[in-house]
Structure 1
């Protein structure tokens, strides 16, 4: 394996690429042979690094000489039905890039689990920076860089929702009719599958109360479009030095067609709000430290999105609560994998502590 490199020109460190984490090695010989046979133009020495900051799918940076590719496969262990769908992600990325240039182009899909133990996809590698807990060095000197990053993320979502699924061959990606009802039912089932590993009975009770309220208050969907289903700041990539436009959007394995406001609710759920006390339940975000970015407030997120959409946003609190509840379930899934010994990543062992406070936050949103 080669050490993590620097990006073109050395302007930004590749801190998001690292040696492969212990226990997450694959059959590299089999992978190399499959890629050389399936992707045109590969030559040079084969090497692998990992994108270590994701917490579910395993994502690797595979190099053949100077050419880089991205390889993604599901996590090890038991997988929830419909989750980590590499075939779906391939289908989306093989077509969406024609109408939405922030979507990396897919190059190959392998359904043969004998190669590396699970289905996987290969996509183009894009150079750039992902915003985690600080403004990237290449933007730090710019005026209001964090605020501009936030506006660019919102605009990237609005632009996605403006894409006509039929225009890029994705009209049949999902079933928009009854979408919200099926989503709520599906996430209820995912919780049921891991509820036995809840950190406490009280935690389970609160999560189940959130689910009951979510099911009882489903709003009427207004318009269907392409739904990313995990759109957030750290799934967006920027060109170094440019905070005003998202260059790439990652993690499309849950994409579908349906009620696009689900994406806005998800984004709000993950969004740090400088108008909220950092230690309050309402302040939960996925990446600690993001409060220092000085992003737009959640109210400004809604305002910016509304300026680029004709949708009625009066029920957006339900969508944010739904996004919050989904995050609860995802955290519990990750914690359950740790409890069952299916991952060696110590971060997963800490996910359980977040389940109850986040469920309480969802109840607060539903209470208005």
Structure 2
């Protein structure tokens, strides 16, 4: 059954407006054959990190990505890096948006930014788009597409891309584990008895052998766009964390966002709440088994990667909560993130206890 496409943009949030005049002047200097119509801007409301806008001038449309306002973590929100990633991967992976241009001129909108193509389709963000009734068949179909595209991404011949210029595959998991433990400690606001045993176990159990692949590292439903009948993935966005790394770490991150019916209530209802608890969606075990068949990879030690994914997600949320606590953002969505962080740590610890 075909569904009409629903709007995935909204009015720009207060305090996150773009300077229309300077931006429009920039566009007219850099975009050929731009229509004479006025610039219209809307915002993509999903996500807690980088800010993403739709730009429209007559029939011309594009998407603008910029960092969040206020201080940001070191090396985070690197617009030039993300632009290089999609530029390198788009020829190999059609869901990656086509790049248009990158600008490091801070005088235009107050930060670096880049433009990319505006893809059209359906985005699932916590719920299905209005007017669409999910069925178990559709949910199964979405699950299988997601697994297939993840395996396809991991099969890209990364040596033929330019990602090696901005990636360091060797020692990837060691840097990830130790790095995220340090990042969490820098922004810690609450005491949680699960953190030390979880961090200690992860440090002591880093897998010794890895494969390397192109990884997205933020692979979740609201970073994807599907066609009208959910038979194909039209877009995959938010490439800021992509690199050459361990593909099972990418699988772990995907599974961390893949909320199940047996997960604690606070995780089910958290900011990453997901439709994946609905009938028809694969459960985590089915997702893992299908990925193993599609990719041919050994997933024996996936519990390590899943436990680390919960620790990493907790670290990301803690960074956001820390900014909120310091008054660097007043977004009300962030007010209770500390409780969510604590639950993620506890859940990660419960996973490794299965290994002990």
Match of 2:244 in 1: 257
Match of 1:63 in 2: 56
Alpha carbons of 1:138 and 1:102: their partners in 2 closer, same or farther (altered >3 Å)? Answer: farther
Write the deviation string for residues 113-172 of structure 1: whole angstroms up to 9, x where unpaired: 222121111110001111123444676376610111111111111110000112233332
Alpha carbons of 1:183 and 1:277: their partners in 2 closer, same or farther (altered >3 Å)? Answer: closer
Match of 1:354 in 2: 340
- Say if 2:218 is the partner of 1:230: yes
Write the deviation string for residues 282-334 of structure 1: whole angstroms up to 9, x where unpaired: 99781255423631010110111011122211110110111111110111111
Q: C-alpha root-mean-square deviation of aligned residues, in Å?
A: 2.2
Helix, strand or coil: the match of 1:130? coil
Match of 2:330 in 1: 344
Q: TM (normalized to structure 2)?
A: 0.92
8 Å Cα contact 1:321-1:363 kept in structure 2: yes
Bigger CA drift: 207-216 or 345-354? Answer: 207-216
Match of 2:235 in 1: 248
Paired with 1:184 and 1:192, the residues of 2 have a C-alpha distance of: 13
Match of 1:99 in 2: 92
Structure 2: 5+ residue runs without aligned partners? none
Helix, strand or coil: the match of 2:213? strand
Paired with 2:339 and 2:126, the residues of 1 have a C-alpha distance of: 21
8 Å Cα contact 2:66-2:111 kept in structure 1: yes
- Say if 2:39 is the partner of 1:52: no
2:227 to 235, 239, 242: 239
- Say if 2:308 is the partner of 1:322: yes
* Count of residue pairs brought into register by the alignment: 352
Structure 1: 5+ residue runs without aligned partners? 1-8
Match of 1:219 in 2: 207
- Say if 2:43 is the partner of 1:23: no
Paired with 2:350 and 2:186, the residues of 1 have a C-alpha distance of: 25
**How many Å apart are 1:67 and its aligned residue?**
1.7
- Say if 2:83 is the partner of 1:90: yes
After superposition, residues 170-209 of structure 1 pair within 5 angstroms as 170-195=163-188, 198=189, 200-201=190-191, 203=192, 205-209=193-197
Paired with 1:130 and 1:113, the residues of 2 have a C-alpha distance of: 31
1:42 to 25, 34, 39: 34
Match of 2:294 in 1: 308
